[in-house]
Structure 1
Amino acid sequence: MLRHLLTVGSWTMLSRLLGLVRDQLLAMFLGAGPVQDAYQIAFRLPNMFRRLFGEGALNAAFVPLFTSRYEKEGPPAALLLAGQAFSLLLLWLSLLTILAEIFMPWVIDLIAPGFRSHGTGRFAIAVQLTRITMPYTVLICGAALVAGILNARNHFAAASAAYISFNIIGIAAILVGAFWGHQHVAPTSAWGITLSGIAQLAGLLWAARKAGMTVPLVRPALSPDIRLLLRRMLPGLVGSGVTQINLTIDTIIATLLPTGSISWLYFADRVNQLPLGVLGAALGTTLLPLFTRHVAANDRSALQTSLN
């Protein structure tokens, strides 16, 4: 358990350090102004869905169900469940993304009502950048589900390392934009977000295949297993939803404050998130499949020992 914790924590620490470099470059080239504000809104919207439907409620419900199915019924039954969840997730998020792309001006009005009134051009920039980043929602949530499969079978390194590509591609995109000219930094950075989603999903699917856990392609359907998964997701969605509503309200208020307020809050929050990501997230990632195996085996003594 400690080895897995150190593995996930180490990769997460490396990812956070690269994220710090990425944020420093954003601050250097975009500062804390209208373009930075618009860029942070463009990133916050897909990131919100990632926390709701990817690493949050879905993984919390999926990993125990997948692990239990794997232990009791074997790999084929568990992978069939994974394929059903994967196909339904991609279908739902693809439809959501298409609707968001069509109605993006109204979406920005909803989450950033202060952008129109300040006359700094933030609204138009936010619409443009968010249309670029929105497909990241589908890609990263799919990647999170595949990462859950790997984590459930104790393949923590591959899942943790994949997320480093977000910051590596992000850093490269910022530098490419800066090379072309200051006005290109925000658009190329936005494209970097979506490209990193492709890299993460592809890398994790490859890792899963290498580990002998290829996710089968199946027709999306509300099977009994999927309905059970959705029921188990509901409490997590409520909990995550409350947090995301609070963050959305914070964002709405920040858009009504002087230009640059969103940027300042973002950079402050990134420092605050460092210990949470390295310690808290690493513990949650490594302990969930371990606890689930103990429960599936009805081994309360081992469960208590691991918990202690």
Structure 2
Amino acid sequence: MASSRKKTPPGKNDPSAPFRIEVTRHAAAGTTAELVVQLPDGTQRRTELDPGQARRASTRVEWTPDSKIKPGTYPVKAVLNSQGNSCEAQASVVLADVRVPESLEVGVIQSYDQTLPDALKAAVDFSLLNEADLLRGDFTRFDAILVDIRGYLERKDLVAANPRLLDYVRQGGRLVVFYHKSFDWNDADPPFAPYPLKLAGSRVTREDAPVTALNPMHPLLRYPNVIEKQDWANWVQERGLYFPDTYDSHYQEIVSMSDPGSEPLKGAILYATYGKGEYIYTSLALYRQLRACVPGGFRLFANLISPKDLVP
């Protein structure tokens, strides 16, 4: 396979974030109502809803945060006024400084989980790869290809196509493999990874466990987001699971972490060059952080999917 790579400067996510508010009618058919959305900057959006005979009506609200608003979590309140009555609901909006290369294009080998597509759709062009794509498609249009959590268990077409994926890496691509369990992985013949890598049952259960950067200047911790101490704050449930216990010296260890009283685990992110490309295995519970909109989880995720040769 020939590899075609695009060099672009880091870009910011489009700060304009549309979201949809759905209203369920419990009054008589045809009842009209006014929906007032109170946004974090103090502005309001007013919409007249006419559900007609439908039980539900929805409206699309788009808000572009002012550049003066700092990253953080902000409330969004929706108030529905109808026939002299009102009710309200509240949700939160998370504003995070997450950078991705503007022309980044990613292929996703999805398993049973919806987290990766949901995380990518805000700012990254991506394609979900089906069986035909895996077995016969052209991978060279992708800057990175992602193997979803436990994808090798869920997708037999992925197992069959794995030699093609390793060839994609060899010719210059980046393959990022998210966590698997040991019995999904260890008995594969031929092995899934380009160099020996065995998983164990070890995990870091404390979501606030200290993290040490073993190679602070590595591109995975520098581009397009500089990963710092605060990026490991406010994680949920756990740091990672099914860490590798033995792996080839081709893999570079990026971070170290452990529960109190336990030996440090250094296989949370393993990085290797293979031919002209890059192979990354991570046992971090990033899917939990993406679901919970943890800013540091998104920033690290953006780094994993952004190849270093996109750096100008």
TM-score over 0.5 (shorter chain): no
Normalising by structure 1, report the TM-score. Answer: 0.20
Higher RCO, Cα 8 Å, sep 6+: 1
Normalising by structure 2, report the TM-score. Answer: 0.20
**Bigger CA radius of gyration:** 2
**Which one has the bigger strand percentage?**
2
**Which one has the bigger helix percentage?**
1
